[in-house]
Chains A and B, each alone.
Chain A
Amino acid sequence: MLDVIARILAASLVSWLLFITIDVLFKLPEKGGVSGAAAIGQAIEKDGGALHGGYMMGNIVCSPDASAGTLLAACGVYIAGIPGGLAAALLVYIGNRICYDPGYAGTTGAVLATFVIFGFTRIGFGAEEFIAGMVLAILTIQGLSHLGASRLLATLWGWRA
């Protein structure tokens, strides 16, 4: 049981690094992709957070990004292996278009995550551990401290910009 928990925590770290890297590369912290995402970023900044980190959090809320892509790819790999993950990527692509998202962070994240997660299943991880790991990873950004998370994301964005 402890080994499963340890693998969930490791999967969480891998998922965190994967989705943050892709989202920052795809410039999610630059601006709100839709007016609602910008409004969430500004609400977080008003309460003492960092604007660009807030924009990225708003963008994560308003359209499936690489974090959602990673979660859904993990679900896909859990259910049907690589074809399941790629099916999830296609559905994320459609979801992005439904949400007026001009970008491809979600689709890219889902495709990359499919192969990363499948690779980890070859070395003893279970795809279900990545499902739980991704839920923990998104908790650290969207669910614990908006102010702390927005400052961290803004710092990462500063390196990218």
Chain B
Amino acid sequence: MGVAGIIPSEIALIFVVLVGLFAALRVAFEKNTLRKLPYLNVLSFAVAAAIALLIRHPLALLAAVAFFVGSTLESNAIASTYAGGRDKDD
């Protein structure tokens, strides 16, 4: 397909993939684990967005949310572990 035939969702996907690759590199090169997590957050946004853009199906929405919430919960757990566990009042 030539450039003239490119459709908006493909242009959107190109943006998403570039942001995802950039975030992945920043995760890889950041030394401080807690400071990796915001970059990982950007990567999760990009992956969830790519799932929806690539698969336009109701179940893909569920997959994108499930991936995103799962990734967020993992970051939450990693950060809370570094902070010394759960708050006393939890």
Chain A residues with Cβ below 8 Å from B22 are 139, 143
A36-B82, A98-B73 are known contacts. Are A75 and B38 too (CB-CB below 8 A)?
Answer: no
Q: Is the interface of A mostly helix, strand, loop or mixed?
A: helix
Q: Is there an interface contact between B61 and A80, defined as CB atoms closer than 8 Å?
A: yes
Chain B residues with Cβ below 8 Å from A99 are 69, 72-73, 76
- Judged by a CB distance under 8 angstroms, whether A55 is at the interface is no
Q: Is there an interface contact between B8 and A135, defined as CB atoms closer than 8 Å?
A: no
Closest to B40 in A: A61
Chain B residues with Cβ below 8 Å from A92 are 65, 69
Chain B count of residues within 8 A CB distance of the other chain: 56
Shortest CB distance B79–A (Å): 3
Q: Is there an interface contact between A35 and B87, defined as CB atoms closer than 8 Å?
A: yes
Closest to B73 in A: A99
Chain A residues with Cβ below 8 Å from B82 are 36, 39
Q: Is there an interface contact between B68 and A142, defined as CB atoms closer than 8 Å?
A: no
Among A21-29, A111-119, A125-133, the stretch that binds chain B is A125-133
Chain A count of residues within 8 A CB distance of the other chain: 54
Q: Is there an interface contact between A36 and B76, defined as CB atoms closer than 8 Å?
A: yes
Which A66-121 residues have C-beta < 8 A from chain B? Answer: 67-68, 71-72, 74-76, 78-80, 84, 87-88, 91-92, 94-95, 98-100
Q: Is there an interface contact between B73 and A68, defined as CB atoms closer than 8 Å?
A: no
Question: What CA separation (Å) do A131 and B62 show in the bound complex?
Answer: 16
Q: Is there an interface contact between B80 and A34, defined as CB atoms closer than 8 Å?
A: yes
Q: Is there an interface contact between A61 and B49, defined as CB atoms closer than 8 Å?
A: no
Question: What CA separation (Å) do A66 and B49 show in the bound complex?
Answer: 15
Name A's B-contacting residues (CB within 8 A): 1, 4-5, 8, 34-40, 43-44, 47, 57-58, 60-64, 67-68, 71-72, 74-76, 78-80, 84, 87-88, 91-92, 94-95, 98-100, 126, 128-129, 131-132, 134-136, 138-139, 142-143, 146
19 A-B pairs, CB-CB below 8 angstroms?
A34-B76, A34-B80, A38-B83, A40-B35, A60-B38, A62-B76, A71-B45, A75-B51, A75-B60, A75-B61, A75-B64, A78-B56, A79-B56, A79-B60, A91-B65, A131-B52, A135-B42, A138-B42, A143-B42
